[in-house]
């Protein structure tokens, strides 16, 4: 009788061990599936973020290239006005500068 009780106890332990092994395997499989799902979700988010940032970059690039033409025109206008201003200033004082140079060149100091 004691031997049959031991056999029954051993059988229960083996059954409990097998059940525990199934539980551990199921948990491991569920964890692996969740990790795979999390990885796929992360890759999807990264792809969406990358697409969003690329779209913003392209938008800024298009806006800046459009502005560069306006900037070039503005700079050309500013340059032309400054050149005109310098020509006017030089023509107004060129006679005075010529007279001053002539006076210094023809004046003899002892």
Using the structure block, give the residue that is written with the tokens 């306006």: 70
pLDDT tens per residue, range 28-86: 999 999 999 999 999 999 999 999 999 999 888 777 766 667 778 888 999 999 999 99
Q: What is the largest CA-CA distance in the chain?
A: 147
Predicted confidence (pLDDT) at residue 22 exceeds the cutoff of 90? yes
Instruction: Write down the pLDDT at residue 93.
Output: 87
Phi, psi of 107, rounded to the nearest 5 degrees: -85, 130
Using the structure block, give the residue that is written with the tokens 């796929």: 40
Query: Of 106, 84, 104, nearest to 96 (Cα)?
Result: 104
Instruction: Write down the pLDDT at residue 40.
Output: 95
Residue count of the chain, please give it.
Answer: 110
Instruction: Write down the pLDDT at residue 56.
Output: 92
Predicted confidence (pLDDT) at residue 105 exceeds the cutoff of 90? no
Q: Alpha carbon 64 to chain centroid distance? A: 16
Number of Cβ atoms within 10 Å of the Cβ of 58: 10
CA distances from residue 36 to 7, 11, 27, 29, 83 in whole angstroms, order as listed: 43, 37, 14, 10, 68
When pLDDT is cut at 50, 70 and 90, the band that residue 2 belongs to is low
When pLDDT is cut at 50, 70 and 90, the band that residue 1 belongs to is low
């Amino acid at each position: 009788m004691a031997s049959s009780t031991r056999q029954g106890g051993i059988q229960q332990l083996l059954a409990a061990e097998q059940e525990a092994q199934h539980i551990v395997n199921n948990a491991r499989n569920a964890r692996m599936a969740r990790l795979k799902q999390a990885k796929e979700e992360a890759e999807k988010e990264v792809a969406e973020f990358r697409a969003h940032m690329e779209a913003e970059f392209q938008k800024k690039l298009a806006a800046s290239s459009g502005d560069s033409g306006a900037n070039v025109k503005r700079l050309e206008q500013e340059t032309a006005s400054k050149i005109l201003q310098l020509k006017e200033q030089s023509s107004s004082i060129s006679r005075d500068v010529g007279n001053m140079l002539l006076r210094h060149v023809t004046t003899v100091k002892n």
